[in-house]
Amino acid sequence: MKIKDYILVELPPSRGYIVEDEALLFDHHGVTGLFLVRRGEQIEKLIKTREFPSAARLVSFLLDIKLAKGYEKLLKAVDLIDTGESRKDSFAWMIHKAYLINTDSSEFRRIVLAMLIEDKIKDLIEYLREESKAYDKALEKINILESRVRSISNRIAFFTTILVSETRELFTASLCLDWKKNMT
């Protein structure tokens, strides 16, 4: 992908894009700050600052954004998610689950961004809460499938049954090589 005059967040040139002219980069991995990225992956530090737990926190600091209460709570949750501590807080974990179930969804990202831009924080939180329920449902199914795995050897396994309805089970012999490795 070729870019020109973009503002990038946590997307260093190593992610595979080509800068045609210049772009701004906010990043908190490695050296933290605001950088100018030029053609040929040349990076110039514009502002170097202390470390931040998330890119969202870095951007709000560098742009001196004063957040309303609802947004501050959201930013604290993003900090916990970005530092791998989302399970320490139920609100952060709910948001993280909504993200995890939608990692490949550009529609999810578009909806979240639109709600942030339109200042619909209550709608956003409700949307994230609903999306996080899909994660919980998927986890339930994964746990059911995992409980049905039977091992032939340490490299071959199969699912013994798949529930078709409340009263009937469909027997399968779905093989999965290295299943223990793939389940983690």
pLDDT tens track for 34-69: 999 998 878 899 999 999 999 999 999 999 999 988
- The confidence band for 163, taking pLDDT boundaries of 50, 70 and 90, is low
Mean pLDDT of the chain: 84
What pTM does this model have?
0.73
Percent with pLDDT over 70 in the chain: 85
Looking at the fold, whether 98 and 137 belong to one and the same domain comes out as yes
Amino acid type, 25:
L
Looking at the fold, whether 17 and 34 belong to one and the same domain comes out as yes
Residue listed under structure tokens 């969804």: 105
Looking at the fold, whether 95 and 114 belong to one and the same domain comes out as yes
Domain of residue 155 covers: 148-183
Partnered with residue 8 across adjacent β-strands are 25
**Is 61 inside a domain boundary?**
no
Report yes or no: 177 and 155 within 8 Å, Cβ to Cβ: yes
Which residues, 6+ apart, have CB-to-CB distance to 100 below 8 Å? 135
Looking at the fold, whether 137 and 178 belong to one and the same domain comes out as no
Looking at the fold, whether 162 and 98 belong to one and the same domain comes out as no
Number of compact structural domains in the chain: 3
Whether 170 has a pLDDT exceeding 60, the answer reads: no
- Residue 179: what pLDDT? 44
d(CA 78, CA 55) in angstroms, rounded, equals 9
